[in-house]
Amino acid sequence: GQSLEQPSEVTAVEGAIVQINCTYQTSGFYGLSWYQQHDGGAPTFLSYNALDGLEETGRFSSFLSRSDSYGYLLLQELQMKDSASYFCARGYGQNFVFGPGTRLSVLP
């Protein structure tokens, strides 16, 4: 199985912290990536977790637990520009299976 599950929508206010969860099926796992996509734009890479634990990149952090087939993206100090769709993507061979995406709306 290659499917991933994410919440379809998340809403938060500016300055808050939000967590976007991702669960996946485990066959052929090669790591979990996160991408951001603004409306009308291309997906842009945010982070990659090959091993369990937390990876921090500025205001964004990503976590992976391979034993739980679970990961999350944590966005801190939310800004209006963070309003976008966020996709987790599971490594499969040399490519990725993308989740359905979570639409994040940041309110003033």
Partner 1 sequence: DAGVTQSPTHLIKTRGQQVTLRCSPKSGHDTVSWYQQALGQGPQFIFQYYEEEERQRGNFPDRFSGHQFPNYSSELNVNALLLGDSALYLCASSLALAVSYEQYFGPGTRLTVT
* Helices and strands, counts by H and E, the chain: 0, 11
DSSP per-residue letters across 29-76 = ---EEEEEE-TTS--EEEEEESSSEEEEETTEEEEEETTTTEEEEEE-
Q: What is the DSSP pairing of strand 9-13 with strand 102-107?
A: parallel
Q: Choose which of 27, 42, 51, 81 interacts with partner 1 (CB under 8 A).
A: 42
Q: Map the footprint of partner 1 across residues 47-76, applying CB under 8 A.
A: 48, 50
Contacting range for partner 1; rule: CB under 8 A; set: 21-29, 37-45, 61-69, 70-78 = 37-45
Contacting range for partner 1; rule: CB under 8 A; set: 13-21, 66-74, 76-84, 87-95 = 87-95
Tokens of 90: 């599971």
Residue 93 binds partner 1, judged by CB under 8 A: yes
Residues that bind partner 1 (CB under 8 A): 30-31, 33, 35, 41-45, 48, 50, 87, 89, 91, 93-101
